Chains A and B, each alone.
Chain A
Amino acid sequence: MDQEITSEQLKEVLQLVKVLYGYDFSQYSEASIKRRLDRFKQMAKVSLSDLKYHLANDKSFFFWLLESVTVNVTEMFRDPTFYKALVHEVIPLLDTYPLIKIWHAGCSTGEEAYSMAILLQEAGLLDRTRIYATDINMANIEKAASGIIPLDKMKEYTTNYQKAGGRGDFSDYYSARYNNAIISKELKKNILFSQHNLVVDEVFNEFQLICCRNVMIYFNRELQSRVIDLFYRSMSPLGFLALGTKESLLFSDKSAKFEVINNINKIFRLKANA
């Protein structure tokens, strides 16, 4: 703990990453990225100067750092009550569109996008839905696209699915092979996984629903405002926005453009005329 990095040292490391690799973490939550970097230093068993040396000389070291400092923890049907609200309050309204477009921004390894696909399948809408699932980290995108999930997690996901009001048999959506669950082709075919960086990348389509749950918690307020503005410009009229259960639009200058559909599960909708 005596080697805890200071704010100034953190800034130096992030500046180095930006100059050498083009990733800008300067507007990430300082408490979070400092903690991740402290942990990474301990795990890699390097001093601060070693860390900077390796960053400057070893690209693979940078990708290891990127993997470690970005949070890639996710679950299928995390917060079952959110998915239940989605089924009752959002999906029936999506039914009115001939082509449904959904964006999972910061999808990590894809578990939430697959959860969404299951619920759309059960509502009979998956065939006319395109789910765009994006993440900053290409390693996540590759993993997500593979649709391979450790089998030991499926027990908890099955419970989550049932609590979320799933109407089928969860085991129909994957096949077990050795220690893995492989997501069925049916679910995968309408999901497009691609790289997108919320810090710098722009609007790429128009969506009726944008899900960005527990992603912006790692950003500072300025970057949160930027991302909500990006979402605002990426939404169809009367589109929906879903955030994590402890996130809000309070600090965004676009908050007045949205109405709250479900305050507990943080589902918002663009107002008419917004």
Chain B
Amino acid sequence: MHKNSAAVVVIGGSSGSIPVLMQIISALPAAYPIPVIIVTHRLRNVASDLAEVISALHRVHEPEDKEPIQAGHIYLAPQNYHLLIENDNTFSMDYSEPVNYSRPSIDVTFLCAASVYRENAVGILLSGANKDGAEGLDVILRKGGRAVVQDPACSQYPIMPLEAIKKNNKVEIQDVKTIVDTLLGLIKL
């Protein structure tokens, strides 16, 4: 058996990231064998329209508390919770204080991914207008994982990728097409 070169892909995005997310998800084959976990900033206490938009497109779903993380699945962090990852490969929901004014916070999930999967974590940070995700990407890199940001030059809101680059200049800077190639390149057939 050949091993994939990652155990998990975590993707964070905020303002301007939804079209990019749709593009990335639709480019992944149906049987993409690495679990993908998406965290985006969402409004509180309103019906979840984003989940509908994205799941209409593909097999994305919002996990429930303690649900096992499985290959071949794309997960979307539910609104109004932080999404944590346990050592036994399950999700936990967390309703504690917002981080970077956000719940779900990208940093919270990225830090969990770094802690659980270490060098086998891949973090990708897309367009957005605050600094959430920068610390998480930095820690993923420092634990030996891989960190990619959407090229600020082609991000609708470049602040989030720029903050990550400022925090750790070893992050890879890629346009959307290259991000897709990177994700496909993680699979070993």
Report which A residues bind B (CB closer than 8 A). Answer: 1, 4, 7, 29-32, 34-36, 71, 73, 78-81, 159-160, 163, 214, 216-218, 220-221, 224, 244-248, 250-251
Contact = CB atoms under 8 A, between A and B. Distances in A.
Contacts of A221: 66
Interface residues of B, number: 27
Contact of A35 (B62, B64, B108): B108
Given A30-B87, A35-B84, A217-B94, A4 B115 contact: yes
A217 B87 contact: no
A71 B81 CA distance: 12
Nearest to A36: B96
B110 to A, nearest CB: 11
Contact of A248 (B64, B81, B87, B94): B64
Contacts of A78: 45
B92 interface: yes
Given A36-B96, A71-B96, A160-B45, A31 B86 contact: yes
B131 interface: no
Contacts, number: 74
Contact of A29 (B45, B92, B108, B115): B92
Nearest to A2: B142
Interface of B: 45, 47, 62-66, 78, 81, 84-87, 92-97, 108, 111-112, 115-116, 135, 139, 142
B95 A29 contact: no
Contacts of A80: 45
Which 8 A-B pairs rank lowest in CB-CB distance, beginning with the nearest? A31-B84, A217-B93, A71-B96, A29-B92, A214-B95, A31-B86, A217-B65, A246-B93
Nearest to A215: B95
Contacts of A1: 111, 135, 139, 142
A157 B98 CA distance: 18
Contacts of A218: 92, 94
Given A1-B135, A245-B78, 11 more contacts: A1-B111, A31-B87, A71-B94, A81-B47, A214-B93, A216-B65, A217-B95, A218-B92, A224-B66, A244-B93, A244-B95
